[in-house]
Amino acid sequence: MKDHHKQRKNIVNRLAKIEGHVRSVKDMASNERDCGDLLIQIAAIRSALDSCGKLILKDHLEGCVSEALKKGDETVIKKLNVAIDQFIR
């Protein structure tokens, strides 16, 4: 892991948990579990994804963006704005 991605291990772990959560909801759907239960689990996965996305954004700002701006590279802001437009509704 590069130094400027302090949270990457944490982010990978969170994504691994989310992957397992999606798999278990898929199994619930196969096993004819109640639709309401599925919806509640999907809302929980979405919430975990949002938290993970926020962590990626903060890690990016503290690391990559901060370093690039110190070097006078402003293109990083433009690139990040594209991602923010999609991530924040």
Q: Within positions 26 to 45, which residues make up the interface with a copy of itself, using CB under 8 A?
A: 26, 29-30, 32, 34-40, 42-45
Q: How far is CA 63 from CA 19, 25, 50, in A?
A: 26, 35, 20
Q: Which is nearer to a copy of itself, 32 or 72 (CB)?
A: 32
Q: How far is CA 65 from CA 7, 26, 74, in A?
A: 14, 37, 9
Q: Within positions 62 to 81, which residues make up the interface with a copy of itself, using CB under 8 A?
A: 64, 79-80
37 token code pair: 């239960």
CB 56 within 8 A of CB 49: no
Interface with a copy of itself (CB under 8 A): 1-2, 5, 8, 11-12, 15-16, 18-19, 22-23, 25-26, 29-30, 32, 34-40, 42-46, 49-50, 52-53, 56-57, 59-60, 64, 79-80, 82-84, 86-87
